[in-house]
Every structure is written in C-alpha cells, then in structure tokens.
Amino acid sequence: MVLREALTSGVDRIDASDCYRPHAANLTIVTKVGAKRGDDASWNPAISPDELKRAVDDNLENLGLQTLDVVNYR
C-alpha cells in the first residue's frame, strides 16, 4: 500500500527488497546483493561468484523482472 501511494505521488526510484513487486514503466529498481540472513536473523556475507549470481537471479524472479536497473553490493 505504501509503495502504491509512493508511485502515485511520483516517486520514480525505489531501493527495493526483492519481496516488493512494484510495477511502473518509469520506475528505477535498486536492489542489493552480497549478504544473506542467518538462522538467527543476522546478516552474513554471501560474496562468492555463485552466491552473487544466485542473488541477482532471485531478485529478478522475485521482482518479476528481466533486468535490474541498479544492483548495490553490500
């Protein structure tokens, strides 16, 4: 609901967790890779080439996109 209101208000850049699914043609999606949650909810490094590729692929799938505009490395 908050994201929908932001889009309606003219926001055009969202630093998105891959659990969000914003849909707007003029929206720039920014997401992050390089860490994953541990069993205790801590953030742990996930920086091997395979982990980074998996994170990008997961973001694409979870966001329903074919490309990501910006990927930040934690």
Residues annotated catalytic, as ranges:
20
Q: Which run of H or E residues covers position 5?
A: helix 2-8
Which region, left, alpha or beta, applies to residue 57 given φ > 0 means left and ψ of -120 to 50 means alpha? alpha
**Residue 73 CA neighbour count, 13 Å, CB half:** 7
* Dist CA 38 CA 45 (whole Å): 10
